[in-house]
Structure formats: structure tokens, C-alpha cells
């Protein structure tokens, strides 16, 4: 069962502990949980099974560090984040290996994630000195009004496994830039990337108690409840499923926390028959649907193709999928790795079986790739999809693409909006009037027009409806970790004194 780490340039970045108050610690109970390579099933290592008493220490450390950290100059925090960014770039190869090892994505994709993750530290290092307030003309004679932005306090951050580096930097970056301290719960499937980032934070000179990384598996519900109900935690940011988001939101209500949720998606991807370049639309759909083997919250989940181009689009799309190479992420030439665990493979297969039982046809794939391991599922394309199939209403989170035919613009927008969630949506069209009509009508927080990739540190990331609220990245991201205080000065209307 033993499995040695990939050869890292700096083996000290592989850490089987939790990071609390500037120190690497185990659980008081001595308990640990195992982490396995999704490609091979082999043991990677163990991490501490922290309980609520352990996490209480992390919250207290963050609480004690906050009064001093909040008074640091924005420029000083900027330099800390910039050093952390540079350490990520300097250690990018090792970080990418850790991501591939515990998440399964191909090494090339992992390298791309490291650069994307690091960009949030760079971006928010540039935002830290620019948390401007306002001066406001008062409506009361003699008064002067100004506002200042202040850090909200200790932040609880809960992140998912699909982007082990980027999901944590996208939250920690703005929190530290704002002057907050954090307790981050890393995912039980992929804790080692977060631990490596914590080690780099230590090397970057982030003061002790400012960044705390806690790990747990069986105790995760209890740890989550502590973070969301603890009176010292003033803000919670969560990325994950809508169902878990509902639970955390209910818990957070007990102490009226400031919260931001980035929850599930069910992204529509629409190809109109006035598309200017069908090959570009195919490439966009491939990138959107199959990135990370379909395991991103902004993946195209429902691909709607207008009937005038349906057959030709389907043919070219299937041809591209047939060129994929499935396998372990460290193997040469691999384009797609495993899904995170066997449950994910089972869900993908359930969606395929449901669709075929209701009239869809499998054009490529459609089976578990058991010869490679229990967590591999063949990249799959289904045609003849209809709205009564599970794939139309549930997020697959796997490498299954269903192609739905449609006739009119209004019909497809109605279909696209038939979802309780609204994170991302995409469409391809060459008609500028249609582009504005459809972009404005889609009930989502982010729209990709003539592109299948929308993730960019400069662009606000977040959804509407039951995909949550709040925005990450961009100039808006830091505001999620700040409060606005108004200051009113009275007696200021006197004339110049003789």
C-alpha cells in the first residue's frame, strides 16, 4: 500500500501536519486520516484528524493575531503577498506535482493551476494599498461625512478539492490584503497542496497566527459547524455544493456572520447557427466541458446546439473527444486523468444510463475505464438529449457531454434558465444584437461570449440564484473581507475666523 512521493525538488514541501499559530502540529487525539492517489488508489500519506478543540486553538490564534495585523500598512501586507506569490512561482513545479498526485489532473493542467493560483496573491498584493474610502457631501448643514474600509476580522475559509491551490489562494489573498486573519479548512481529499502553501507563507514572513490551515475528514461536519457558529469568526467564505452551502448558511445565521458562497453550477453552453467559426465553438465547448475531466463548477453541463449546425457540430466535437488520452496525470501525453473518487465515476455513469434509457445515444465513451482503475470514466458524448434527463437538471461533475438540439433563441434561453442555480453560462454567436440580448437574459453570474474559458483573476467570479452570492477575484474581491464605516463630523460649518 505504501507509495513514495513524486520526486520534489524541495521534499520539505510535503507535510503531513496542520499549520496553527505558525507551527506544524498534529491532532491532540493523535488520530490521522489517509489520503489516496485517485489514479492508483495507493496511499499518499496521512494528515491530522483535528477535532473542534484543535480548531478552537486555530481560531484563537487568528483572533490574537488580528489586532496587530489589522494595523499593518497596506503596503506592508502587499509586500508579504508579493513574497508569497514569488515563492509559489519559484516552487511551481513541486506544487504542480502535489496537485496531480492528490487530485489526479494531468501535470500540464496542474502547472496551469499553480500559475492561476499564484496570480491571486499578485493581484491582491496590488489591491492591498488601495482600499479607498469616500468623502460624501452631507445633507445636514455643518456636517462632514467620510467613510473608511476596515478588515472584517477573523475569517473562516472552506475550500474544495477540484482546485487544491487556486481555491485557497482566491480566498486567502483578499483576506490578507484587507488585513484579516484566517482559519482555512483544506479539503480532506487534497490537503497536501494547502500545506505546501502554508509552508511558503511561513517562508514569506507571514506573521504567526495570520494564516492557519486545519485538516479533518470524519470530523469535517463538526469543524464546519464550529467555524460557522464561533463568535470570534466574523466572516465565512465557502466554495462547494449548494446542499452543503445551505447547511453552512443556516449555521452562520446563529451569529449573523458576513458570508460569501460559491456553490454548484449547471452551466448551459449554447451554439447558435450564426456562429462565425464552428471549429472555434467546438474548441470552446471542449475546453469548457472537459477541463479537469468535467470537475469544475463552471463546466458546461448542458450543451445546446441550434438545429442548423447540430449535426456538423456533433461530428467535429466527437472527433476531438476521440483524440483524448486517458490515464494517470504523470504519464506522458495524457490529456485527462481520473475523477476524484469512485462515487464520482458512479454518478457520471448514472447520468449516462438515465439518458440512454430515455432515448439518448452514446456516440463515444459511456463506460467506466476499469482497466485503468475504479476512478476512471471514459470521456463521453451523448446526442439526442432532452430536458427530462437527469443531466439536464443535475450537475454531472464528470467527463460526460450531452448535446441538446434546439430551434429558437427564446426556447434555448428558457431551457438554459430552467435551473435552481446560476453560476456560469456560455454561448457562441456572430450577431452582436443577439449577443447583448442573450447575455442579458441568461440567469447566471458570469457569461462567456465566444469563449469557453472565463476564469481570470481580473474578472469577478460568482453566481446568482442558488449558486450563491459574493464575488471572488477582481477589484470587488477584497470588499468581501471589509466593512464600511461612516464617520460624521459635526460643527464644521463655521465661517473663517477673524
State the pLDDT at residue 1: 33
pLDDT at 22 over 70: yes
Residues 6+ apart with CB under 8 A from 170: 117, 120, 461, 472, 473, 477
Instruction: Give the burial class of 135: count Cβ atoms within 10 A of its Cβ; 0-12 exposed, 13-18 middle, 19 or more buried.
Output: exposed
What mean pLDDT comes out for the span 281-292?
Answer: 98
Q: Could you tell me if 161 and 190 are in contact, meaning their C-beta atoms sit under 8 angstroms apart?
A: yes
Distance from the Cα of residue 373 to its chain's centroid: 26
Q: To the nearest whole number, what is the mean pLDDT of the chain? A: 97
State the pLDDT at residue 5: 60
What mean pLDDT comes out for the span 70-88?
Answer: 98
Per-residue pLDDT of 337-348, as tens digits, reads 999 999 999 999
Per-residue pLDDT of 293-328, as tens digits, reads 999 999 999 999 999 999 999 999 999 999 999 999
- Give the domains, in start order, of the chain with CATH numbers: 11-263+467-485 (3.40.605.10), 267-449 (3.40.309.10)
Strand partners, 486: 147
Per-residue pLDDT band at 6 (split at 50, 70, 90)? confident
User: Left, alpha or beta for 474 (phi > 0: left; psi -120 to 50: alpha)?
Assistant: left
State the pLDDT at residue 370: 95
Q: Could you tell me if 242 and 397 are in contact, meaning their C-beta atoms sit under 8 angstroms apart?
A: no
pLDDT at 2 over 50: no
What mean pLDDT comes out for the span 426-448?
Answer: 98
Per-residue pLDDT band at 3 (split at 50, 70, 90)? very low
pLDDT at 112 over 90: yes
Percentage with pLDDT > 90 across the chain: 99
pLDDT at 4 over 70: no
Copy the grid coordinates of residue 457: 483573476
- The H or E element spanning position 23 is strand 23-25
What residues are labeled active site? 262, 297
Dist CA 7 CA 103 (whole Å): 17
Percentage with pLDDT > 70 across the chain: 99
Tell me the backbone φ, ψ of residue 209, rounded to 5 degrees. 85, -15
Instruction: Give the burial class of 31: count Cβ atoms within 10 A of its Cβ; 0-12 exposed, 13-18 middle, 19 or more buried.
Output: middle
Closest CA to 379 of 359, 362, 360, 358: 362
What mean pLDDT comes out for the span 486-494?
Answer: 96
pLDDT at 28 over 50: yes
Amino acid at each position: 500500500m505504501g507509495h513514495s512521493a513524486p520526486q520534489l525538488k524541495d521534499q520539505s514541501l510535503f507535510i503531513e501536519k496542520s499549520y496553527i499559530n505558525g507551527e506544524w502540529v498534529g491532532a491532540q487525539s493523535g488520530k490521522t486520516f489517509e489520503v489516496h492517489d485517485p489514479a492508483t488508489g495507493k496511499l499518499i500519506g496521512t494528515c491530522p484528524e483535528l477535532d473542534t478543540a484543535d480548531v478552537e486553538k486555530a481560531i484563537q490564534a487568528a483572533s490574537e493575531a488580528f489586532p496587530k495585523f489589522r494595523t499593518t500598512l497596506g503596503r506592508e501586507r502587499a509586500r508579504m503577498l508579493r513574497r508569497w506569490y514569488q515563492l509559489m512561482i519559484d516552487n511551481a513545479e513541486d506544487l504542480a506535482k502535489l496537485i496531480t498526485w492528490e487530485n489526479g489532473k494531468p501535470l500540464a493542467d496542474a502547472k496551469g493551476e499553480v500559475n492561476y493560483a499564484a496570480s491571486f496573491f499578485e493581484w491582491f498584493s496590488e489591491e492591498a494599498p488601495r482600499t479607498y474610502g469616500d468623502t460624501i457631501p452631507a445633507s445636514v448643514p455643518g456636517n462632514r461625512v467620510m467613510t473608511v474600509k476596515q478588515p472584517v476580522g477573523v475569517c473562516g475559509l472552506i475550500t474544495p478539492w477540484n482546485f487544491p491551490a487556486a481555491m485557497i489562494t482566491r480566498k486567502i489573498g483578499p483576506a490578507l490584503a484587507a488585513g484579516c486573519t484566517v482559519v482555512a479548512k483544506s479539503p480532506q481529499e487534497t490537503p497536501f497542496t494547502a500545506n505546501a502553501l502554508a509552508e511558503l507563507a511561513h517562508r514569506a514572513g507571514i506573521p504567526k497566527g495570520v494564516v492557519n490551515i486545519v485538516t479533518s475528514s470524519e470530523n469535517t461536519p463538526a469543524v464546519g459547524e464550529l467555524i460557522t457558529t464561533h463568535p470570534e469568526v466574523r466572516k465565512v467564505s465557502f466554495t462547494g455544493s449548494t446542499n452543503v452551502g445551505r447547511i453552512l448558511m443556516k449555521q452562520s445565521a446563529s451569529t449573523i456572520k458576513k458570508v460569501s458562497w460559491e456553490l454548484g453550477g449547471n452551466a448551459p453552453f449554447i451554439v447558435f447557427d450564426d456562429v462565425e467559426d464552428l471549429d472555434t465553438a467546438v474548441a470552446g465547448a471542449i475546453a469548457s466541458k472537459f477541463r479537469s475531466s468535467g470537475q469544475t463548477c463552471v463546466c458546461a453541463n448542458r450543451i445546446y446546439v441550434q438545429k442548423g449546425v447540430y449535426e456538423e457540430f456533433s461530428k467535429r466535437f466527437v472527433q476531438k473527444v476521440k483524440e483524448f488520452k486517458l490515464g494517470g496525470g504523470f504519464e506522458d501525453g495524457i490529456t485527462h486523468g481520473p475523477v476524484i473518487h469512485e462515487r464520482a465515476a458512479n454518478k457520471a455513469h448514472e447520468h449516462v444510463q438515465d439518458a440512454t434509457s430515455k432515448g439518448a445515444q452514446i456516440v463515444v465513451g459511456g463506460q467506466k475505464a476499469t482497466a485503468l482503475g475504479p476512478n476512471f470514466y471514459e470521456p463521453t458524448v451523448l446526442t439526442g438529449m432532452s430536458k427530462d434527463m437527469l443531466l439536464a437538471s443535475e450537475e454531472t461533475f464528470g467527463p460526460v457531454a450531452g448535446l441538446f438540439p434546439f430551434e429558437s433563441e427564446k426556447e434555448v434561453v428558457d431551457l438554459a434558465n430552467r435551473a435552481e442555480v446560476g453560476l456560469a453560462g456560455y454561448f457562441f454567436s456572430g450577431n452582436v444584437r443577439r449577443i447583448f440580448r442573450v447575455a442579458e437574459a441568461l440567469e447566471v453570474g458570469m457569461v462567456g461570449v465566444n469563449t469557453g474559458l472565463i476564469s481570470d483573476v481580473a474578472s469577478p467570479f460568482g453566481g446568482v440564484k442558488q449558486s450563491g452570492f459574493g464575488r471572488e477575484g477582481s477589484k470587488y474581491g477584497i470588499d468581501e473581507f471589509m466593512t464600511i464605516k461612516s464617520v460624521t463630523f459635526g460643527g464644521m460649518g463655521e465661517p473663517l475666523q477673524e
